[in-house]
Amino acid sequence: MRAVSYAQFGGPEVLHVADVPIPEPGPGQVRVRVAASVVHPVDLMIRSGRFPAPLPTGLPYTPGWDVAGTVDAVGPAVEQFTIGDKVIGFSPWLRTTVGAHAEYVVLDAAWLTAAPAGVPATEAATLPTNGLAAAQALDLLAVPAGSTVLVTGAAGQVGGFVLALARAAGLHATGLAGTDDRAFVESLGAAFLSRSDDPAGTFDAVIDLAVIGPSLLGLVRDGGGYVAASPPLRPEPVRNIRTFALEVQPDGSRLGELVELVTSGDLPLRVAGVYPFADAAAAHDRLAQGGVRGGVVIVP
């Protein structure tokens, strides 16, 4: 099969399309013929050699965390999927280095769920990683309906999902974003806060996706909650504030709940661009430019 690959760290030019063996599913696994996947900032960090933690195995790597596609083969002890099912899922790449920027990928069946009906694969692929990140950030906080939540980076892919999920959960969200994103933030039922504004008052919780840092703890009430975008960014707790680091975990059941919200129209999906494998370097360049408001999608 063909897969996007790189055998050394560096700029986007190290990416190429390689011929690699087609993987076979083991017990509890399925093989998915990939229709679409997504490029994330972490893919750029790993490819460039700037990822701050040790990587699990050596080069070469095939990147890719999200998958939308069709079940192609089923391993033993898999009952919930059959060949031909349309599915989406999340590959915990840092644990397995199983990349979805390939024509086929083998994943645990528990990491997959049925794809949203009638949604193109290029859109469906934008849900797993970012949708699970948003849902799990709110799960960590576990604040009741009516609570106030400040979300930084609110117009990004994860931020947009957080605002939509907050509305569905009955939370009062405020989105911190650039002025050009005001209409989008408010369309999701959130109050808008410009990056140039000085936030006033306190919130029951803060989800810091823009990596602003510990200074935001001053906006959290005593005993409130704070979620940092990654483990190294988790601040030391003060004033009984609960602090968490967001580490996205595969969860087919939780992903299925998000699919229901997509189907009902409560969770919008956004695509910024679609690139074939051969243009993977251009996809990485586009994401590196910043200001992306939607998934940068890779297709075979």
Per-residue DSSP letter, 271? E
Give the pLDDT of residue 60.
96
Give the pLDDT of residue 231.
82
- Which structure tokens are listed for 252? 């087919």
Q: Which residue matches tokens 């192609």?
A: 72
- Which structure tokens are listed for 83? 């060949």
Tell me the CATH class for 130-245.
alpha beta
**pLDDT tens, residue order, the chain (300 aa):** 999 999 999 999 999 999 999 999 999 999 999 999 999 999 999 999 999 888 888 899 999 999 999 999 999 999 999 999 999 999 999 999 999 999 999 999 999 999 999 999 999 999 999 999 999 999 999 999 999 999 999 999 999 999 999 999 999 999 999 999 999 999 999 999 997 777 767 899 999 999 999 999 999 999 999 999 988 889 988 999 999 999 999 999 999 999 999 999 999 999 999 999 999 999 999 999 988 999 999 999
Partner residues linked to 87 by β-bridges = 69, 114
Spatial contact of 154 and 185, defined as CB atoms under 8 Å apart = yes
Q: How far is residue 138's CA from residue 127's CA, in Å, rounded to a whole number?
A: 16
Q: How far is residue 52's CA from residue 211's CA, in Å, rounded to a whole number?
A: 15
Query: Which CATH number fits the domain 2-126+269-298, given the four candidates 3.40.50.720, 2.30.40.10, 3.80.10.10, 3.90.180.10?
Result: 3.90.180.10
Q: How far is residue 31's CA from residue 105's CA, in Å, rounded to a whole number?
A: 6
Q: How far is CA 113 from CA 65, 274, 298, in A?
A: 15, 23, 20
Please calculate the CA angle 274-278-280 and round it to the nearest 5 degrees: 60
Give the pLDDT of residue 200.
67
Parallel, antiparallel, or unpaired: how do β-strands 29-39 and 86-90 relate? unpaired
Q: Which residue matches tokens 């399925």?
A: 30
| Identical fold between 2-126+269-298 and 130-245 | no
Q: How far is residue 206's CA from residue 193's CA, in Å, rounded to a whole number?
A: 13
What is the domain partition of the chain in residue ranges?
2-126+269-298, 130-245
Contacts of residue 51, defined as CB under 8 A and 6 or more positions apart, other chains included, come to: 42, 45
- Which structure tokens are listed for 14? 């190290």
Got the DSSP string for 47-58?
HHT--SS--SSP
Q: Which amino acid is at 72?
A: D
